[in-house]
């Protein structure tokens, strides 16, 4: 299918567990998409699906008016955006870099300033909803950046997500994402302790979970993570090392603001113990094993 | 309206914030209902709605085949069930006492044994869903007791709630409720810390909450409690003293089982501080004020 000439050319850098299904959705919506990943093996499935394979982030940018980035941490974003073969080397004026990675807001703002000096706009647009949400195009997208950039990106965001909120200027999306991770990661402790008490009391924990989902304890995390805890199935989707990284970002922000977040601090301790005991690549639901020990 | 002769006569003892709307729903469904409350002023609205006013819990029991109880703590349940004018004095054999109160499972089992010696069955059937859920008849009901009692109560439970789960034998419903309160109360800390970080970072916390509700951080508690935190409106529905009581029950159970629940323990500390600072009658969302201090 020849892509519609009305649709802007998109780029996608980072084709991991989240990036790949997001890029696939953009292709399926008819956008011309140029992709790149540091692990070249990840490119082929997208190329077979109609994407152009870019040689580098710079090459992706040279063919795109909006360049999406979905990588792991601040260093990785700096490399693909500002590095020697980075987006900044190939992007034209008026390009928008949309970074979906979860990194620190201050790091993201620094990168946005560097880009702006070259006439390139940036949005931080971290997401929540996991791999299933990415595949279904139902992510929550928390966007930070100018009104104008948001308006230009909105049609694309609508392909990727269902709940799309322009939180504020550059960095604001990442602050919202930190809030998201606090709520989610702390809630996960509550789910783990509830399921542990049910199990140790001799109840059927799945039956308890079913009852809880009908009342005020209902949450997406309880629904998705409790069964993994009960089955001890941590062959995970969102690896605990990512939540560990995220909660440290949130605590660093709190420290800079001079506020204490005691439940987040407790969660960071439990996630630290999980990393030390070899659970870094396990699903984050494995915090259950630390509480159950 | 003359009640249908096919419907059993019900009793309801305890007409507080939760009990009154539950009793009203039973009346509205056509059941003959005899009610009683220690605070007599609470009886009149129900009597005006067609309920018979019982002089005592014993009198309620004498007119009912299923007697519902919804009071605050173990001592109150013991009084209305086993006290000198208690249900046990008026109930016939085959009566079922359905206790919706949130009390300790061990206390409830003791009461059930005392009743069983008189040929009276008991179910613990604590609920979740708050005052709105009680009014709408959409509560989650976690039931503990015999299969036979559950089968007899099920049509009545269907009037009161939407998610109805028979968890196990006597006491099992209350264990599930303790799990419910752990998940809910710990989650509330996560919601509070997320909203605090959003606010102190200069974002619009309602916009952040909206974004979070679209992803993995979505929960009933975030949805209902975050706006109260943001507006500092703690003219509460579920008073914090009740959550304080509930988390202590859960921690006592954990202690008896030899397990540690670190997030629940943290929640109990924060709720203790809230009690000490005059927040016992405030909505439980007021834990926000302890974290924000």
Mean pLDDT to the nearest integer, A4-26:
92
CATH assignment of the domain containing A127: 3.40.50.720
Cα–Cα separations (whole angstroms), residue A88 to A31, A117, A192: 22, 10, 44
From CA B44, how far away is CA B51, in angstroms rounded?
Answer: 9
Asked if residue B4 is part of any domain, the answer here is no
Q: Are residues A49 and A162 in the same domain?
A: yes
pLDDT of residue B5: 56
Say if B293 is an interface residue toward chain A (CB within 8 Å): no
Asked if residue A91 is part of any domain, the answer here is yes
Query: What is the share, in percent, of chain B residues with pLDDT greater than 90?
Result: 96
Neighboring chain A residues of B165 at a CB cutoff of 8 Å: 207-208, 210-211, 214
Asked if residue A1 is part of any domain, the answer here is no
Residues B91-109 have pLDDT tens digits of 999 999 999 999 999 999 9
Asked which of A123, A152, A170 is the last residue of a domain, the reply is A170
Query: What is the share, in percent, of chain A residues with pLDDT greater than 90?
Result: 96
CATH assignment of the domain containing A271: 1.10.1040.10
pLDDT band at B237 (very low <50, low <70, confident <90, very high): confident
Q: Are residues A263 and A153 in the same domain?
A: no
Q: Are residues B100 and B181 in the same domain?
A: no
Asked if residue B18 is part of any domain, the answer here is yes
pLDDT band at A5 (very low <50, low <70, confident <90, very high): low
Asked which of A130, A150, A170 is the last residue of a domain, the reply is A170
- CB nearest A197 (choices: B178, B187, B201): B178
Q: Are residues B42 and B70 in the same domain?
A: yes
pLDDT of residue A202: 97
Asked if residue A3 is part of any domain, the answer here is no
Touching B: A residues 172-201, CB under 8 Å: 172, 175-176, 178-187, 189-191, 193-198, 200-201
Whether B219 sits inside 8 A of A224 (CB atoms) is no
Our CA-based measurement puts residue A238 at a distance from the nearest CA of chain B, in whole angstroms, of 11
Q: Are residues B30 and B142 in the same domain?
A: yes
Residue A4 clears pLDDT 80, i.e. is over it? no
> Closest residue of A to B162, CA-based?
A214
pLDDT of residue B6: 73
How many domains does one find in chain B? 2
Asked if residue B5 is part of any domain, the answer here is no
Q: Are residues B112 and B22 in the same domain?
A: yes
Q: Are residues B109 and B225 in the same domain?
A: no
Q: Are residues A187 and A73 in the same domain?
A: no
Q: Are B32 and B10 in contact (CB under 8 A)?
A: yes
Chain Cα centroid distance, residue A233? 22
Q: Are residues B106 and B247 in the same domain?
A: no
Residues B117-174 have pLDDT tens digits of 999 999 999 999 999 999 999 999 999 999 999 999 999 999 999 999 999 999 999 9
Neighboring chain B residues of A191 at a CB cutoff of 8 Å: 183
Q: Are residues A23 and A164 in the same domain?
A: yes
Residue of B177, B209, B228, B245 marked active site: B177
String of DSSP letters for A209-224: HHHHTTSTT-BHHHHH
Q: Are B47 and B37 in contact (CB under 8 A)?
A: no
Q: Which residues pair with B276 in a beta bridge?
A: none
Q: Are A127 and B214 in contact (CB under 8 A)?
A: no
From CA A228, how far away is CA A206, in angstroms rounded?
Answer: 11
Range of the structural domain that residue A253 is part of:
176-291
pLDDT band at A2 (very low <50, low <70, confident <90, very high): low
Asked which of A146, A170, A194 is the last residue of a domain, the reply is A170
Which helix (H) or strand (E) element contains residue B28? helix B19-28
Asked if residue B1 is part of any domain, the answer here is no
Asked if residue B272 is part of any domain, the answer here is yes
Q: Are residues A141 and A232 in the same domain?
A: no
Residue B2 clears pLDDT 80, i.e. is over it? no
Touching A: B residues 118-137, CB under 8 Å: 127-130, 133
Q: Are residues B108 and B209 in the same domain?
A: no
Touching B: A residues 8-27, CB under 8 Å: none
> What is the overall mean pLDDT for chain A?
96
Query: Catalytic site residue B177?
Result: yes
Q: Are A121 and A145 in contact (CB under 8 A)?
A: yes
Residue A258 clears pLDDT 80, i.e. is over it? yes
């Amino acid at each position: 299918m020849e892509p519609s000439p009305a649709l802007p050319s998109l780029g996608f850098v980072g084709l991991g567990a989240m990036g790949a299904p997001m890029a696939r959705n953009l292709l399926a919506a008819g956008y011309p998409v140029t992709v790149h990943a540091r692990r070249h093996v990840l490119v082929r499935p997208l190329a077979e699906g109609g994407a152009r394979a870019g040689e580098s982030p710079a090459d992706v940018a040279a063919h795109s008016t909006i360049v999406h980035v979905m990588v792991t941490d601040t260093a990785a974003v700096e490399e693909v955006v500002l590095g020697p073969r980075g987006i900044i080397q190939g992007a034209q004026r008026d390009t928008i870099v949309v970074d979906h990675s979860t990194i620190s807001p201050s790091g993201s703002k620094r990168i946005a300033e560097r880009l702006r000096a070259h006439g390139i706009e940036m949005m931080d647009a971290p997401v929540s909803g996991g791999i299933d949400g990415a595949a279904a195009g139902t992510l929550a997208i928390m966007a930070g950046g100018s009104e104008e950039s948001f308006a230009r990106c909105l049609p694309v965001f609508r392909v990727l997500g269902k709940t799309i909120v322009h939180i504020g200027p550059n960095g604001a999306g990442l602050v919202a994402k930190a809030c998201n991770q606090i709520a989610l990661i702390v809630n996960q402790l509550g789910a783990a302790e509830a399921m542990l008490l049910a199990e140790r009391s001799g109840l059927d924990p799945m039956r308890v979970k079913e009852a809880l989902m009908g009342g005020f304890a209902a949450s997406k995390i309880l629904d998705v993570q409790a069964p993994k805890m009960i089955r001890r199935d941590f062959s995970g989707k969102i690896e605990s090392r990512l939540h560990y990284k995220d909660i440290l970002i949130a605590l660093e922000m709190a420290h800079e603001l001079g506020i204490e977040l005691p439940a987040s601090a407790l969660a960071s301790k439990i996630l630290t113990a999980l990393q030390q005991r070899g659970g870094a690549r396990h699903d984050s639901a494995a915090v259950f094993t630390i509480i159950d020990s």
